[in-house]
A and B are shown apart, each in its own frame.
Chain A
């Protein structure tokens, strides 16, 4: 655990010193701040717009951070050969993979935290300057604590995406890893159609293949509760626990695959 922690802190330190990351976070915060102006355009909808835009920006920029740091996590070390001196130290390749993952998770947590603070700050300003009658008519309070639930699920979704990026990084170049990861992200949001493919095509093998792919490919749709939170719709504890469990189990399988591939790799 100590070794994994050391590697994780090293990854976090590298991320903190990365100018690209600063620009991404800054841009996200600016966008969240700008949502205040957009909200002014539509009377009565401003809080919803700010919440929606804020959560979307958090998800969008979080995705970019997860993918662009994740795809280089292993590849960079192997390409630059810094892994030679690192693996000569008393660590295993499993420590290396888990440490890299934990470090990026810490980075994402901090960045999502910054974006969450920015979002709540804008909503707090809205609450202070907006008319009482308007805020009383909202489906959900402006400073809705359930926003944290939505951000929490975004975090687990990004943790899954990061695991995928890390997996591809163990054997593939950054360009291909990015393509595969983004591809799976998109598929993950639209794969509900695969579950009932027999309703679309009249072929049992195709339907079975589609059903198998549905279970194999990541299902990211359930992590998106933005609409429910913004409109004050209920989200059951059971739903949240099921989604989190699915995320954790899928992440575990992907990391296991990454460790398996990485364990037998020759570093030429």
Chain B
């Protein structure tokens, strides 16, 4: 059984008052997320990521298509007891303290008072909210609110957690803690579905990703598969190199950057023969520091596929 499954999920919004016309925010999304994986849902602004998350939370209703989570219908109480959700730009009741908010939410899950107190204390420790837990949320910074948001999303030890921009507003310590939390969730067998603009986080965390553009699925697959075989070039770092060596290598090198005295980073095209270059380096008396393939990053993949979707969208507009 898949953790999350959508089939031709579509959402149209009516735009205009006197003559409403439909605007398609999500177009026949079909995807499946395996249990226990970290799934990245990527896309530019307005791609339909938040629309998808809101459909899965039943905050909005689909125009057509269907979706299920853990084999249960969207919006059922049995399902809600087993999932967690962090919305984008979370807002909570600013007159409550972090402790009061989590205690309130814990009461909705039916936790007994003693269990509530223990769970709330443990979660606030885990997300790094210390003495501030007794201050009203209106006094919290954006980063602190985001941490409280993460805590409320995992309050019930969920089987699936939906995170919309989980790193938003977090400082480097917070981002590290959030990444550790996500890894910890996976270790516990939780499925994590998160949407993000920060591709480096998705690349570091996700098992699989899907790229959404203009409401349509542009690409999906394992991160390793999407970027593994596309070697864009080579990076060769040499030490004790002289100008003569650089002159001989010149035509084969795309770019040479001096990073320290006598130490150069050389960018080579993908079709370069690195072993022949290594022989020249050694013969000249320079030392090899490192030789690494430069692979396509998730960002390169993203730009390529979203760019293609943009052109297709422009073609569709031009052909009307």
Contact = CB atoms under 8 A, between A and B. Distances in A.
A207 B259 CA distance: 93
A268 B14 CA distance: 12
Given A3-B108, A6-B107, A84-B57, 15 more contacts: A6-B104, A10-B93, A13-B96, A82-B91, A84-B59, A85-B86, A85-B87, A85-B105, A88-B83, A89-B105, A90-B109, A91-B80, A91-B108, A92-B77, A267-B54
Interface string B57-93: 1111100000000000000010011011111011111
Interface of A: 2-3, 6, 10, 13-14, 17-18, 80-85, 87-92, 264, 266-268
Contact of A266 (B60, B80, B91, B93): B60
A9 to B, nearest CB: 8
Residue from B59, B84, B108, B153 having most chain A Cβ neighbours under 10 A: B108
Which 9 residue pairs of A and B lie closest in terms of their CB atoms, listed nearest first?
Answer: A88-B85, A84-B87, A90-B80, A266-B60, A89-B108, A90-B81, A6-B107, A267-B59, A80-B91
A25 to B, nearest CB: 18
Contacts of B58: 87
Interface of B: 13, 54, 57-61, 77, 80-81, 83-87, 89-93, 95-96, 100, 104-105, 107-110, 149, 152-153
B93 A268 contact: no
A91 B58 CA distance: 12
A89 B162 CA distance: 12
7 contacts: A13-B96, A81-B91, A84-B59, A85-B86, A85-B152, A91-B108, A266-B61
Given A88-B80, A89-B108, A267-B54, A82 B85 contact: no
Contact of A2 (B80, B104, B110): B110
Contacts of B91: 80-82
Contacts of B109: 89-90
A82 B60 contact: no
Nearest to A2: B110
A81 B54 CA distance: 12
Nearest to B100: A13
A39 to B, nearest CB: 39
Contacts of A92: 77
B104 A264 contact: no
Contacts, number: 70
Contacts of B84: 88
Contacts of A90: 77, 80-81, 108-110
Nearest to A14: B95
A81 B93 contact: no
Nearest to B90: A85
Contact of A268 (B60, B107, B108): B60
B63 to A, nearest CB: 10
A3 B80 CA distance: 13
Contact of A87 (B59, B86, B96, B110): B59
A6 B108 contact: yes
Contact of A82 (B57, B93, B107, B108): B93
Contact of A17 (B13, B60, B95, B153): B95
Contacts of A264: 61
Contact of B60 (A13, A85, A267): A267
Contacts of A3: 108
Contact of B93 (A14, A87, A88, A91): A14
Contacts of A84: 54, 57, 59, 85, 87, 90
Residue from A89, A264, A266 having most chain B Cβ neighbours under 10 A: A89
A214 B61 CA distance: 37
Contacts of A2: 107, 110
B301 to A, nearest CB: 30
A52 B85 CA distance: 53
A85 B87 CA distance: 7
A91 B59 CA distance: 12
B277 to A, nearest CB: 56
A91 B100 CA distance: 18
Contacts of A82: 91-93
A13 B149 CA distance: 21
Contacts of A85: 85-87, 90, 92, 105, 149, 152-153
Contacts of B57: 84, 87-88
A91 B105 CA distance: 11
A74 B287 CA distance: 70
A89 B89 CA distance: 18
B32 to A, nearest CB: 21
A84 B149 CA distance: 11
Nearest to A81: B91
Contacts of A89: 80, 105, 108-109
Contacts of A6: 104, 107-108
Nearest to B11: A266
Nearest to B61: A266
B87 A81 contact: yes
